[in-house]
Amino acid sequence: MTSTVNTDIFPLIGHSISELENLAESFGEEPFRGRQIFDWLYRRQVDHTSDMMDLPESFRKKLRRFTIHPLKTINQDTSSSRQTKKFLFQLSDGEFVESVLMYEADRITVCLSTQVGCAVDCDFCATAKMGFIKNLTVGEIVDQYIHLQKMSDKKITNVVFMGMGEPFLNYRNAIAAADLLHHPKGINLGAWRITISTTGIIPKIYQFTDEKQPYKLAISLNGSTHNQRLKTMPITQKHTLNDLLDSAKNYTMQSKKPVTFEYVLMDGINDDPLDSSRLKNLISSIQCKLNVIPYNEIGGKYKRSKDNKIETFLRSLKDAPFPVTVRWSKGTNIDAGCGQLATSTKTTNEKFG
């Protein structure tokens, strides 16, 4: 036991039970005091260490130097349908991230970011235009959830890691954040309520499979052939479509769980009837679901497929051996749809400063 305090542990959200036990011990307290802090942070979600009423006063005093939240709420936008809210948070180093809260009947979903910007340069995505700025810490990922839960009048039922960034290029922190969301003594969300979406970082898909991670896996396919996908998702060069499908199949066979394929429909790019039949062939032998996402425009060269094209595309998937869902984003008027999240100090100052 050491009496020196690890100052890296500040702020507190983001730390696991064992880290908090170590923190308590570093103050000469019993490890169970760390478990009490865990309870206050994640289950009761207090904003100040002074509210942690079952800790001895002397210990609470020592904890005063720690803050709770790694993120500061800067702004909130509500979509015209009132079903989607977008939040802007500031990190301690001044960078910004966005998260989205979506209401759909009894299903309350939050979409969390895992990076500021993104290194995967999908040509159609707003976040990609920012370039890669940094990985979020575990605390910066989990704190988005905690803030959103505090601002929501209903309990959050589902979490998707589909905000800014590529979760599998921040693998350890993304998984540790999911572990905290899932922890039965804390936030206690079922593992099947947490979905991690990747552009297809193949070694990480194998790692996720080998580690038997309990969370749902989604893969952004967005093309029906290798060359077509390569045009909008240059990462296909390194991680080929065939290899990606093999890794997805391996996941489903090892985990005995389906994978979700996401397919963003873009006008004249991947929305031809030929695409839907090729797509059907590509994924029919994999235990999967297909989530079709009509493209949310970001003012660039890509456009949303025309309604009749979307309908034809979906109709031709009617006999597919896998379930098909459509994600009509409800927050596009506040740029909260899939792939519309982007922050920069400049635009933020213009909008909110």
Q: Note the residues at the interface with ligand SAH (CB under 6 A).
A: 124-125, 162, 166, 197-199, 220, 222, 262, 264, 293, 295-296, 298, 337-340
Cα–Cα dist 115/145, whole Å: 15
Q: How far apart are CA 139 and CA 15, in angstroms?
A: 7
Question: In the bound complex, what is the minimum distance in angstroms from residue 75's beta carbon to ligand SAH?
Answer: 21
Q: Using an 8 Å Cβ cutoff, are 145 and 101 in contact?
A: no
Which residue, 38 or 124, has its beta carbon nearer to ligand SAH? 124
Cβ atoms 13, 183 nearer than 8 A: no
Judge contact between 187 and 152, C-beta under 8 A: no
Please report how many Cα atoms fall inside a 13 Å half-sphere around the Cα of residue 186, on the Cβ side: 25
Helix axes 202-210, 171-182, angle to 10 degrees: 40
Concatenated DSSP letters for 217-258?
Answer: EEEE---SSHHHHHHH-GGGGTS-HHHHHHHHHHHHHHH---
- The Cα 220–Cα 199 span in angstroms is 5
Q: Which is nearer to ligand SAH, 186 or 337 (CB)?
A: 337
The answer to whether the beta carbons of residues 71 and 323 sit under 8 Å apart is no
Residue 104 beta carbon to ligand SAH: minimum distance, rounded to whole angstroms: 17
Residue from 29, 98, 166, 262 carrying the catalytic annotation: 98
Distance CA 73, CA 327 (A): 27
State the nearest-atom distance from the C-beta of 108 to ligand SAH, in Å: 18
CB of 263 to ligand SAH, least distance (A): 8
At closest approach, how far in Å is the CB of 261 from ligand SAH? 9
Q: Which lies closer to ligand SAH via its Cβ, residue 41 or residue 160?
A: 160
Residues 56, 120: contact at Cβ < 8 Å? Answer: no
* Active-site position among 118, 125, 288, 338: 338
Q: Which two tokens stand for residue 295?
A: 């493209």
- 338 in active site: yes
CB of 296 to ligand SAH, least distance (A): 4
**Residue sitting closest to ligand SAH (CB):** 339
What b/e readout covers 23-56, taking b as 16+ CB neighbours within 10 angstroms? Answer: bbbbeebeeebbebbbbbbbeebeeebeebeebe
Annotated active-site residue 98? The verdict is yes
- Of 42 and 261, the one with the shorter C-beta distance to ligand SAH is 261
Pick between residue 53 and residue 326 the one whose CB is nearest to ligand SAH. 326
Of 125 and 194, CB closest to ligand SAH = 125
Q: For residues 335 and 343, what is the distance between their CA atoms, to the nearest angstrom?
A: 11
Indicate which residues carry an active-site annotation.
Answer: 98, 338
